[in-house]
Amino acid sequence: MGPVATLRVLSYNVRSLRDDPEAVARVVKACRPDVLCLQEAPRLLGWRRKRRLLASRCGLRLAVNRRPGGLAILVRPEISVLLSHHHRLRRYRGLHLRALSLVVLNHQGHEALVAVTHLDLDPRARLQHAEELLALLARHQAPVVLAADVNELPGGPTWRLLTRAFTDTAELAPAGELFTFTARRPRTRIDAVLADPRFGVVGAGVPEEPSRADLVAATDHRPLLAELLLSY
């Protein structure tokens, strides 16, 4: 086992970079993540170029960069990526395609699996997809961090299902504000960074470093940052 290490995981719904991509980059850089998990990454015309440009502006590299589901995972250049996968979840007629992206990392001598998803507004599909992604994550031995736009308030059935397996980091160790939506008038918490109980949680919440002007200009969600301890 290596020495204790910290891992900063940032979850951020960037609304396809339709607002102010430069503000998105400033927000990310102010948060100093080791791993950036994006929901609603660009997936239409010019999506590869837009994602590459964001990665460059943030000083990160793309570790998972698949179009279906609008997900992406970016990491600091010095972090080793041991494995990456992208899974399409069950398709429901009339609803958006949902997916799960994941990477297994080696960070300062510790392995961790970091995953990202964006669940549906439809409650039945949301719960079914949560069950499906839990089964996919259970195939791996490395402890899991799941960044999710849950599209549901804490206490809902999907949230309860996920927190039976993982720790709600912002509930356990709140740091900063907790409401993530909307960026202009934050009144609800629908985004989460959920972690295997083997992780220690230093703190989690909406980071204080970005300016409010950038948070509002960047996208309709506010980012959620979790600082975790790897000591297993």
What are the boundaries of each domain within the chain? 5-230
User: Among 80, 76, 96, which Cα is nearest to 88's?
Assistant: 96
What's this model's pTM, rounded to 2 decimal places?
0.96
**Mean pLDDT along residues 204-221:** 97
Provide the phi-psi class of 106: left if phi over 0, else alpha when psi is between -120 and 50, else beta. Answer: beta
pLDDT at 4 over 90: no
Top-level CATH class of 5-230? alpha beta
CA dist., res. 137 & res. 132, Å (int): 9
CB atoms within 10 A of CB 30: 16
- Helix or strand or coil: residue 91? coil
- Helix or strand or coil: residue 152? coil
DSSP 8-state code for residue 17: G
pLDDT given for residue 2 in this prediction: 52
Judge contact between 62 and 81, C-beta under 8 A: no
**Mean pLDDT along residues 108-137:** 97
pLDDT at 115 over 80: yes
Beta bridge partners of 10: 36, 225
User: Among 41, 30, 46, 34, which Cα is nearest to 6's?
Assistant: 34
**Mean pLDDT along residues 130-158:** 97
For tokens 């989460």, name the residue: 192
Judge contact between 36 and 13, C-beta under 8 A: no
**Mean pLDDT along residues 12-33:** 98
pLDDT given for residue 232 in this prediction: 62
User: Among 141, 231, 156, 150, which Cα is nearest to 194's?
Assistant: 150
CA dist., res. 50 & res. 155, Å (int): 36
pLDDT given for residue 213 in this prediction: 98
